[in-house]
Structure formats: structure tokens, C-alpha cells
Amino acid sequence: MMAVTVLAIVLQRNLFSVVVLGGVYSFLMATVLVALDAVDVAMTEASVGAGISTVLLLGALYLCGGEEAKPLQRPWLPLVVSVLIVAALVYGTFGLPAFSDPQAPIHVHVVPRYLHQALEETGVPNVVTAVLASYRGYDTLGETTVVFTAGIGVIALLRRLRRRKADA
Amino acid sequence: MLRVVGKLLIPFMLLFALYVQFHGDFGPGGGFQAGVIAAAAIIFYGLIFGLPAARRVAPDAVVEAMVALGVLIYAGVGVAGILLGGNYLDYFVLDRDPVAGQHRGIFWVEIGVAVTVSGVMLKVFYMFAGRGRAEPGE
């Protein structure tokens, strides 16, 4: 079903349908994540991917029109490059441990401590929250700073454009 | 019709955001998701009642302050850890009981994340929706 959605996105020339299909794809992805027991990630995917970014992309469409421009030449070179990269990545996955292999390196390093002692050490039953905010606190601080920087960047860009338009 | 349903739903969306925020310790959820849901509630309000109405509910100055305030709260928790004799972002010094200290640290950190995320989402929405029309007072 996700592959069908992606094909529809690629073949579609009307950008409005592309945005809506992108939202559909996000919801399918969220369903997959729920099936993989990653409820926290699924929630984020559903609210950000299908909710906020769809609204923002529709806002952008309202500003710049809804038809894709016809490409000037056939993009063969980018196609070849992306096929090569996909081949390299697929080749790389052969080196990974099998799915849900209990002897995989990540499962024998810090994961047992996180899973078994998170409750006693932090008093937080949700392990995702415990790892995110406590064990990996620095990473989450960096992540919040990234969101902050992105917001500041958008403010800076759009403000300047508006003032220039007022000058002209 | 849309306005009636919207008015009915928005309080519940905000309530759900708070639930996701403070129940994140026990179920799925946390600061990021709660921030996004709260911002989505305000954006929903803006889509139904118009951008100026949303701007009255959450003025630009407040939203911009939220963007920076969240990071400051997060970093402030780290500094509080130093002042109380631990390392940066050590939570167990925040209370006499180390586990309660952890809980308190996670609580404030999640609030910081939620504040920044919802501020940024709202600001980006305002920026996109406000383009292409005359802005009084800017």
C-alpha cells in the first residue's frame, strides 16, 4: 500500500494531490510504527508528518500555485545516481545483524541496563521517556536547539523578504 | 457548522496535549508530541476563525518568546544541576531523593521541549499564512 502511494506521488503532476498523498503516506508509516511497537515514534509521525507538515505545505501551495512545471530535459543522470546509491545502501544492509537478533551489538551494550534499571534509577515507567530525557539528555538538548535554530532561520528569512517587498 | 465543531473540539485538543505532556512518563508521549498537538490546536483555530483571531489568542511576541524560552528552560535545568553540585544535566541532585530528582529533571526538560516545539510550529504557520497579505503594525 505504501509502495502504491509512493508511485502515485511520483506520477502525479498536481501538487495538491501530492501533498494529500504525502499525508496518507505518513499515516501508513505511523501504522507500521505501531505494528513495530514504537508508539512514541508513531505518534510523532502522525502528528508532524500527517498533520502539521501537510498544513504547512498546503500554505506554501497557496502562495506559489499548484501545478508542477514540466522538466526541461530528461533527468537521466540523477536517476542513475540515485539507483547506484540505493544499490550501495541495500548492499550495506547485508552486513547488519538479522532483524530482532538478541545477540546484535546494540542489544548487548547499554540496552539491558536501560531496560532493566530505568525504572529504579529514574522512577519513570516509560523507557523511551527515560532514555530520551535522562540518559541521553545532551542529545535531546541538541535536538531542541536544532528545532530552535530552524524556527529562528524561518523567522529571519521570511522577515527580510517581507521588508524588501515593502521597500520596492 | 465547522465553527461549532471546532469550538467543541479545540478545548479537548489542548487537554489532550496536556495529557500527552504529563502522562509521557507512563504512556507514549512527551514534550515533542505535546508541543505539536498544542500548536495544531491553535493552527486549527486559525484555519477556522481566521489568522487575526489566532494571533489574538497567541500573539506573535508570546510565540517568539516561547521559541527561546523552551531552550532556556532546558539549559537552565542543566545549570541548576551544576549549582546543586552535580554535572551539567545531572538530575539526581535536584531533590534529596535521587529518583524524585530524576523525575523532576525529566519533567522540566519535557516542558522546555514542548514550549520550544509549539512555539516554532506556530511561528512557522504564522509566517506562511501571513505572507502575501498586508500586515498591520509590522
Nine-digit cell string for B121: 510550529
Q: Is the pLDDT of residue A121 over 70?
A: no
What pLDDT is attached to residue A86? 92
pLDDT: is A88 or A157 the higher one? Answer: A88
First to last CA, chain A: 49
Inspect the interface and report whether the beta carbons of A125 and B39 lie closer than 8 Å: no
The pTM assigned to this predicted structure is: 0.71
Task: Tell me what pLDDT residue A71 has.
Answer: 64
Q: How many CB atoms lie within 10 A of CB A136?
A: 14
Please give the average per-residue pLDDT across A91-112, as a whole number. Answer: 74
Q: What is the rounded CA–CA span in Å between residue B131 and residue A63? A: 8
Nearest to A133 among B64, B110, B135 (CB): B110
Chain A interface residues (partner B, CB cutoff 8 A): 39-40, 42-44, 47-48, 51-52, 55-56, 59-60, 63, 120-126, 128-130, 132-134, 137-138, 140-141, 144-145, 147-148, 150-152, 154-155, 158, 162
Question: Can you count the helices (H) and strands (E) in chain B?
Answer: 5, 0
Distance CA A148, CA A58 (A): 23
Cβ separation B128–A52 shorter than 8 A: no
Average pLDDT value for residue range B122-130: 81
- Asked casually if ipTM beats, i.e. exceeds, 0.90, the reply is no
pLDDT of residue A81: 92
Query: Helices (H), strands (E): how many in chain A?
Result: 9, 0
How far is it, in rounded angstroms, from Cα A143 to Cα B46?
Answer: 28
Say if the Cβ atoms of B120 and A140 lie within 8 Å: no
Residues of chain B found within 8 Å of residue A144, distances taken between Cβ atoms: 70-71, 74, 112-113, 116-117
Measured between CA atoms, the residue of chain A closest to residue B127 is A158
CB contact under 8 A, B123 and A151: yes
What is the grid cell recorded at B88? 551539567
How far is the alpha carbon of B2 from chain A, nearest alpha carbon, in Å? 17
Do residues A121 and A135 lie in contact, with contact meaning Cβ atoms separated by under 8 Å? no
Comparing A57-61, A96-100, B1-5, B70-74, which segment has the lowest mean pLDDT? A96-100
Question: Which cell numbers in the block locate residue B133?
Answer: 497579505
CA angle B53, B58, B63 (to 5 degrees): 140
Cα within 13 Å of Cα(A24), Cβ side: 15
Instruction: List CB contacts (< 8 A) between A120 and chain B.
Output: 99
CA distance linking residue B54 with residue B40, whole number of Å? 12
Is residue B106 a contact partner of residue B54, using CB atoms and an 8 Å limit? no
Residue where the block lists cell 522546555: B112
**Of B40, B120, B135, which is closest to A150 when you measure between CB atoms?**
B120
The pLDDT of residue A82 is above 80: yes
In this predicted structure, the answer to whether residue A120 has a pLDDT above a threshold of 70 is no
- pLDDT by residue (tens digit) across A125-156? 677 777 776 777 778 888 888 888 888 888 88
Question: How much is the pLDDT for A144?
Answer: 84
Backbone angles phi, psi at B133, to 5 degrees: -140, 155
Nearest residue of chain B to residue A39 (CA atoms): B28
Reading the block at residue B32, the C-alpha cell is 515533542
Q: How far apart are CA B87 and CA B105, in angstroms?
A: 13
* Nearest Cβ partner for B125 among A56, A145, A147: A56
Size of interface A-B (CB pairs under 8 A): 134
Distance CA B43, CA B51 (A): 9
pLDDT at B134: 44
Lowest-pLDDT range of A47-51, A132-136, A139-143, B122-126: A132-136
Domains in chain A: boundaries: 1-68
Which chain A residues touch B81 with a CB distance below 8 Å? none
Joined grid coordinates for residue B10: 479545540
